[in-house]
Amino acid sequence: MVKLGALSALALGLGAVGMVESSSSSSSSSSASSADSGGCLGVNAVSARCSPQETLHSREFFYVGGRSAPDPTGNITVGQLYVEKLTPLVKLRPTPLVFLHGGGVSGTTWLNTPDNRPGWATYFLRQGYQVYLVDANTIGRSAANDPAAFDMAVGMSDQFVEMGFTAVKAYGAYPQSRLHTQWPGSGMRGDPYFDHFQRSFLPYTTSYVPQELAVRAAACELLSLVGAPSYLVSHSLGSKFAVGISNDCPRRLAGSINLEPSTIPFRAYGFALGSTPANPWGLTNTPLDYEPAVSSAAELNASVESVGRETLARRNCYRQKEPARRLPKVASVPYLALTGEASVHVTYDHCIIDYLEQVGGRPDWIKLADVGIRGNGHFMYLEKNSLEIAAVVHSWIKKQQHWWW
């Protein structure tokens, strides 16, 4: 077992930043290779000899939203979002999908997996959906044009990625981590699939409030331009954006699909017992429209209590004291959460479901192990059984829409 220290997880929705100790058992894997060095797997697929695995579609890109801001050279635009629009050759579904990535990565994360299997964008194009891929403000091709307004952090380290996402079994930080089997390759430094994945982590902002506000505003403008009720598909940190969008323009949405959301009510959990304050508006860093109205996050937090006994396998939760304020706009949007059997999220995602029910929602929660899908970590949509999980999402949408095909 790898020795571990304190660690935060932006993309996991965890606590304060810490360090991970390196270990010979981790670095010794550098000689291991799970990829076929002569084939078209992983980064080898960049070769001109390798054929693409994508389905036929058209591709367009746009910049949406933003506002004018003064600059010594004149006025500039800040807060805009980069959006890719992918349209299948045959569009069968009337409800587009808008994908919101998690912390530290960009919209490219939905295109293909680290071992170069088709990603979720391809899967849903094949099912006849129109797909929109968004880069959140400050990330990737939505880089901040007002950098002084944002504190930035470097992309995630290899030790961080191993412990939090790809080799959780080796670190054994929580009981369910031993069940992790679905990451392609060893999940450790030196494995070509791991190295390909770790390179995808970009500088990210720790100025969560201005980022959330920018994404909320621009995403609602995007949904207005799309002009059809759409499903949000979010991962981890991206689910905070999804809650804000559900609050601000719920009538533009057909539903909200959340892969291991980081909207843990009022707190952030690390791998040790205990937690730190987070999500001061309950599910987000930015204001939500509670009823009865609340004047500030401080007023809301004054009525918060801890419930349940805390263990590493199942965390205690934080919720409002009754009678609780409601979130009618958020609650009006059909909601699905998915949690992997071996992810740290299985220890606390129940808190999110409990809170959504408390504020008036009727969330659906699929624990993948309960439907026979075993061994998944936090980045389930990139793991070996990723398309099996995508099919679960597709089935949920079909049920919501009363589609038989």
Catalytic residue among 29, 236, 239, 275: 236
Alpha carbon 175 to its chain's center: 23
Rounded distance between C-alpha atoms, residue 19 and residue 5, angstroms: 6
Q: What is the DSSP string of 123-155?
A: HHHHTT--EEEEEPTTSGGG--S-GGG--EEPP
Contacts for 82 with CB less than 8 Å, ≥ 6 apart: 61, 62, 63, 107, 134, 135, 140, 141, 142
Closest alpha carbon to 176 in 376, 352, 316: 376
Residue among 48, 174, 196 nearest 115 (CA): 196
- Whether 30 is catalytic: no
C-alpha–C-alpha distance, residues 321 and 306, integer Å: 9
Length of the chain in terms of residues written: 405
Q: Which residues contact 106 (CB under 8 A, 6 or more apart)?
A: 135, 136, 139, 140, 141, 200, 202
What number of other Cβ atoms are within 10 A of residue 68's Cβ? Answer: 11
| Structure tokens belonging to residue 319 | 């919720």
Q: At a CB cut-off of 8 Å and minimum separation 6, what does 155 contact? A: 104, 201, 202, 203, 204
Radius of gyration of the chain (CA): 20
- Contact, 2 vs 178, CB < 8 A? no
Ramachandran assignment for 79, one of left (phi > 0), alpha (psi -120 to 50 degrees), beta (any other):
left
* CA 141-147-149 angle, 5° bins: 120
Nearest CA-CA partner of 259 in 179, 339, 344, 348: 339
Whole-angstrom distance, CA of residue 143 vs CA of residue 136: 8
Provide the annotated active-site residues. 236
